[in-house]
Structures are given as C-alpha cells and as structure tokens.
Structure 1
Amino acid sequence: MSGLCRECETFFPTPHIPEGGAAGHKSGQDAATPRARCPRCRSPRVIVHAELEQLSIGHVDCDAFYAAVEKRDRPDLRDRPVIIGGGHRGVVSTACYIARLSGVRSAMPMFTARKLCPDAVVLPPDMGKYRRVAGEIRQLMNALTPLVEPVSIDEAFLDLSGTAALHKMSPAQSLNHLTRQIETQIGVTVSVGLSHNKFLAKLASDLDKPRGFSLIGQAETASFLASRSVGMIWGVGKVMREQLAGDGITTMGQVQQMALEDLARRYGQMGSHIWHLARGLDRRRVEPDSATKSISAETTFDIDIADAEALSAELWPLCEKVAYRLKSAGLAGQVVHLKLKTAGFRLITRQTRLSAPSQLAETLYRAGQALLQKEATGDWYRLIGIGMDALQDAQDADPIDLGDPDALRRRKVEEAMDSVRAKLGQDAIIKGRSLKPTK
C-alpha cells in the first residue's frame, strides 16, 4: 500500500487501511480520514491505494472549463454563479459549480437556467480564448508523454506507461504534478482519473469533481462496477438504457452475471460491447493522432422559425463556417449532415453523400438546402446545424465535374472570395444570400 500527498507531492509507504477508509471503492479520491494524512505536511489530501504505482492510463478533465477561464480573468466573478451560453433561446455551454448548486446543467435551455439561477452572471462563450488556454494545458500534457489523446477541448486521455524512468516518478505522481502545474501556471483546476484502461480512467475522473484524483485498480474493478448503472457504459444512450431496463437490466453487476452469447444474441454487437465494459475490459489504446471525424456548426434562434426562406438564410453562414474550418485543416468531406431541433425539442438529422469530397461552402449549402427543403414544410424550429463527415485529405477535393459545367466557376468564385478575406477580413466580401430576408 502506497500513499501520495496531493499538496506537497510526498510519496510514502502506508500501513493497510481498511475498506471504507482512504483505499475503499472511492479509490483514494481526496480521502480525508484520521488514518490518511501526509506524514510530511499533515495534509488530508492524500491518495492511498494498493495499485498506486502500477496504474498508468489517465483521464484529465478540466473543471467547468469555460466558466473557470472567465473567473480566472475576472476575479470579481470568483464567488458568483457564472453561466456560459448563448442568448435567451440558446443553451448552457458550461455552468460553474456555484450555479450548479441551483440545478443548472450543461445543454440546459438558457431560459430554464435563468429561472433556476436568476442571480447568475451570463457570458457568451469566447472560443478563441478557451482554445488558447486548452493549448497551454495540452503543452503541459505533452511534456509528460507523447501519448495524449484529446477527447474535447477540455479533456484528454494520457498513457504514461514507461514514463517512470524518464520522470523519476510514477504515473500517479506525474499526473498529480500536472494538476498542480495547471492550477498554478494556468489558473484553472482539473480532475483526474487513473486506472488500467480508458473506460475506467474516464469513470474515475468523474467521481470527485472538482479538483479530484480518483483511482480504480485491477483488483477492485468488478466490485466497483457492480452497483453502477449500465447507463455509465460508453455508447449506452437513452434508447439503449430503456431497452435494457425493459429486459430488467439496470446495473453492470447484472450484466456481469450474464453470458456473452445471450447478450450478443439479444443486442447484437452492442451486447458484446456492454458485456466487456461491464467487466472493465477495454482494449482501446490511447491514440495521440486520432483524426477529426466531423466538422460542423449550428445556431439556436432567438425566435422559432418555420419559414423555409428564413431557415435557408440561417443555413448559409453555418456552411461558410464549416468550409472555413475544413480549409484551415486541409480537409474535405463527402457526407453532409443536417441537424434540426423542433420547438418541442425533437431532434431531426438527415444526411446525403456527395459524388466527390468537397470543402466548398457553396457545395455544402446546396446539399444542405436539398435536405432542408424536405423538412421545411411548416414545422417550427429552434435550431439548425450543418456539418461534414467522411473527412479526408483535401488534395482530391472538388474535382472538375463534366456533368456540372458551372462547378468550376463556382469554385473559382469561392477561391477568389477566400483570397480577399485572407487579406481584408471575413466581412470584406459576402454573397447576397448572407443578407437575411426582411418581412
């Protein structure tokens, strides 16, 4: 049994601590018990675990990241509830932990969040700033290991196998040192999960937010998972969870008692997936070069829209955003997907496959417009989004189409517009359809 002080970073051997103490199923998550204090500084922020020196797969998740960055930059907001989101009709991107005490949650409609927490300071997201801060955090991660797999702007997996000799410290010590660097140098906090695979590391990082550090070891994996909901399994969404519940399956412990063949027969490939993860079996590697799978953009309206022309006007600037991101990344896509959300919050998605990969806003708009016209039949919508899947290198994008003699002209027009914008700014030149229709 070993211990690690999160404050002074002292690593020390410890006597056995009984179940329910610092080494119980909570896996040392900032355990504060009389029997778990740092022998050097006496801090109760001590991690104690039998496998502390063996586990090497980490998951680092920033705590209320957008709100934390804003509070860092505006000390006057430190003790106030802060919500990051868009407009009265938008949704919550992030809520600080003070706002969460009132029930505010990410993806909640903004009008609901304002009712729950009327005293909150509401700020629009500043994605450029958040990306810069995330980049600074990523640099600190890369200094620990080349095996860093970003999951989103504010979380990543790290594989620290074999780094002990390089850093002269165990993976647990390295991750704890990273949390202190992020907090002191960048000014935001993170929560860490450490385990023997990605699935469990992700679960562990959610156990004790904010500023948590939790471990799930090999020996305790089955017992730790047994009481947890099957809804915590990656890939099990609302529909699948309801289907499992209809068959009397609500916990991973129940899955652990079932045969693989039975689950596979009932649920197909997803049944096999559930069977393995309910036992903590996850063979996925940390992939540092994991490619971007899709690029998209969406907007939520201040007032619901039913008019087809008005919806088309909202679609075009989103196509330009997606095209700009594709071009900046040197990518092209071949599958266009349209996203709509009705006034009653019903989500509608439609997609179509292009004859060749493209990165042009005009091509994306035409395909998206064809999908939109089938749905814009009088229903009221509160959100529209457009995106590209099946991404690939842009070198073969937008080839000459003999069946569409005007395609080359459209491509040259867009390239000319891009050239002007590169010199004079994005608003230097626009197409007529960028002008919203007036009534």
Structure 2
Amino acid sequence: MDSPQTYRKIIHLDMDAFYASVEQRDFPEYRGKAIAVGGSPDGRGVVATASYEARKFGVKSAMSSRKALQLCPEIIFARPRFEVYKQVSYQIREIFQRYTDLIEPLSLDEAFLDVTMDKQGIGSAIDIAKAIKSAIKEELNLTVSAGVSVNKFVAKIASDMDKPNGLTFIGPSKILKFMESLPVEKFFGVGKVTAKKMHELGLFTGMDLKKQREDDLVRWFGKTGHFFYRIVRGIDERPVTPNRSSKSVGIEDTFETDIETFEELNAILQRLSIQLWGRIGKKEISGRTLTLKLKYADFVQLTRSLTLDTSFDSEEKIYATAHSLLSKIALANKVRLLGISISNFVDETDFPKEGVQLALFENYQ
C-alpha cells in the first residue's frame, strides 16, 4: 500500500499598501484619505506606493505625480520615511519568527514562510496565517494579506486574490484547475511584451499553455518555457530559502567629454533605459528597485534608489523612475559617468527565484 503523499505548507505574506499604510497609521490626518508615498504636488517624481483610497482613482506605483494629480486632484503626497519602514519590517519579521525560521524575504513588505514544521506545533498553515495576521494587526496596527498553498508560486498568486487583509487557501486538489484558469499575465516572466506574443500565439490562459509541448514553449520563450511547462502542471519544488544573496543588473556610460546639463544627461538616460531593459529581457528577470549612479568630474560619486511595489516591466517605467531620481539632484559639478541598475528581482533563469535582500533606502532624496 502506497503511503499518502505529503505536501509542504507554504505561506506568502504581503503587507497591504505598506508604505502608505504606515503613514496613515502614524499620521491621523492621512487616515481615510487618498495619499501617495513619493512624488510631489508640483508634478515631479513618481509614486512609490498609493493608499487604497488613491487606488480607487487609478493611482498606482511608478505613476508620475502629474498623472496621479490628474486622476485624483485631492491626493496627498507624503515624503517616504524608509528608516521607519525598515524598522517596521524588522518588527514584522520578529512575528514571523515565532512560527518558523524558514523565512525568505522578497522585500521590506513581503516574504515566503515554510511552516511545514512550525515552531508552535499548530499544524494548520491556515491557522498560522490567521495568527500572524492577528498579531500584525494587534501589535503594529497594520494589515497583511496571506496566500496559503503547497508551493511558492500558488501561495504568491493566492495572496493577491483578496486584498486588502485577505486570506486565500488553494489546496492540492484545486491547484491544477486553478492553474488552468489563470490568465497568462499572472505567470512570472510575462510582461507586456511576452503577453502580446502569447496572445498572438493564441495563448490566453494556463490551459492554453498546458496544451503546448515543452520544446515549443522553450523555442518561443527561451528558458522560461521550461518554467511555464512545469508550473502550469502545479510543479514548483523551489524551497523557501532564507538570506538569499543580493543581485543586480546595470549599465553605465563614462563620457569622453564631461557633461554639465540635465538635457544631455536625460538624453543619455533614455538610451541607458532602453539598453538596460534589453539586458533584463535577455536575462529573463524582473526587479523592483532602481538605482541611479552619478560620478562627477572630480570623481565624487553619489547614488539614488527607489523601490516600487511592482516590478519594472518596461523601458518607459525605468526611464520615468530614473528621470525622477535625476531631477532631484542639484548638479554640483560636471558629470563624467551616469549609470542605472535594477535589483530586488525575480530571476527566472531555469526557474524563478524571487528571494532577494531586504532593500535599503538610505540614498533616497
């Protein structure tokens, strides 16, 4: 007689509008209001995170302040307080550690937990998720959405199904049907360009992907085709891995003649954005943190970073964010080098590896 199959118990936890929620918690005048963290009332800069009140108007991360104001004239722009967000993230992590040491952070506000062998012997991943949600609400006055399943991919998708403050469980018996009905846009590695290619091939859902041969998927989509073939069948054996190493992909240009105007720098920045997007596409990755690097003629160097709550999925989004960071710098000298990089990413070579370092933001101004 065969022994019953055992499954892992994976929870994906994603804080709800994290930066904006912390601001609303700490400042009563923001509560119930449409606020954007990042950007400015003069239309400069981009939104890092919007409150749910602002999202009702269509405001979202990586959107320009000008567009956010058009959609929601009464929006309030809050300056980011990344040291505060980092401290709150540590408090959230301490709550996670009450139940398991297998914690894989994806950013300051989301993580995977493997609770197959939970510290408190609760047994039920659903009950553990409920306990974590309750503790975060009672101790930090914040809400988190949770997805529970037997693998990382499904747990992550599940956490986004009932936001904010949701809890969604997708058990083993429901995974195949769930994957078949999933729009292709929900799969890792499917940005606008890949989605368009899939649609041209008649691929709109997981079921459409499932009907394809693996070698055809690889021929159409490179190494990510192996991932599509496996994940649509519910196969995701990636472990929850704590303390993953940091990674980044970048590009920079050292000028033969030093540059002294924003107009010239912006033109170069647009070219670098196109080239960086090309490199990201070749490596089949998707990242959430953009860093701008600038070196003056006297070799003094500075960097500015911004992390969004969604990935950079186009050269336009990369350029808009980099342009916003550059516009906040008062040029102190001629510039000899300009560069941009993406980090905090999902690596989908062979199989997605979302785990990244906790993003630090000391360089934001």
TM-score (norm 2): 0.69
Distance 1:181 1:346 in 2: 35
What does 1:185-196 correspond to in 2, within 5 Å? 185-196=139-150
**SS state of the match for residue 295, structure 2?**
helix
Aligned counterpart, 2:161: 207
The answer on 1:135 being equivalent to 2:90 is yes
Aligned counterpart, 1:241: 195
Distance 1:170 1:340 in 2: 43
Structure with the bigger RCO (C-alpha within 8 Å, sep 6+) is 2
Unpaired runs of at least 5, structure 2: 1-5, 251-260, 270-291, 306-313, 324-334, 345-361
Residue identity in the other structure for 2:181? S
Change (3 A) 1:242 1:295: closer
Aligned counterpart, 1:120: 75
The answer on 1:144 being equivalent to 2:102 is no
Post-superposition offset of 1:54: 6.4
Distance 2:160 2:103 in 1: 19
Post-superposition offset of 1:187: 1.2
**SS state of the match for residue 158, structure 1?**
strand
Change (3 A) 1:177 1:265: same
8 A Cα contact 2:64 2:320, kept in partner = no
8 A Cα contact 1:55 1:194, kept in partner = no
Aligned counterpart, 2:173: 219
Aligned counterpart, 1:316: 295
**SS state of the match for residue 128, structure 1?**
helix
CA RMSD in angstroms, aligned pairs only: 3.6
Aligned counterpart, 1:91: 46
Change (3 A) 1:98 1:172: same
Cα displacement string for residues 345-378 of structure 1 (whole angstroms, at most 9, x for unaligned residues): 5999xxxxxxxxxxxxxxxxxxx945x4xxxxxx
8 A Cα contact 1:208 1:214, kept in partner = yes
8 A Cα contact 2:14 2:146, kept in partner = yes
The answer on 1:306 being equivalent to 2:263 is yes
Q: Which moved more, 1:112-121 or 1:166-175?
A: 166-175
Cα displacement string for residues 225-277 of structure 1 (whole angstroms, at most 9, x for unaligned residues): 22221111112222221111111111111111222233234333221111112
8 A Cα contact 1:341 1:347, kept in partner = no
Change (3 A) 1:171 1:387: closer
Cα displacement string for residues 112-148 of structure 1 (whole angstroms, at most 9, x for unaligned residues): 0111111121111111111111111011112211100
Cα displacement string for residues 94-126 of structure 1 (whole angstroms, at most 9, x for unaligned residues): 111111111111111111011111112111111
Post-superposition offset of 1:310: 11
Distance 2:266 2:179 in 1: 51
Distance 1:130 1:308 in 2: 32
Residue identity in the other structure for 1:306? E
Post-superposition offset of 1:169: 4.3
**SS state of the match for residue 340, structure 2?**
strand
8 A Cα contact 1:322 1:387, kept in partner = no
Post-superposition offset of 1:86: 2.4
The answer on 1:271 being equivalent to 2:225 is yes
Distance 2:319 2:202 in 1: 30
**SS state of the match for residue 49, structure 2?**
strand
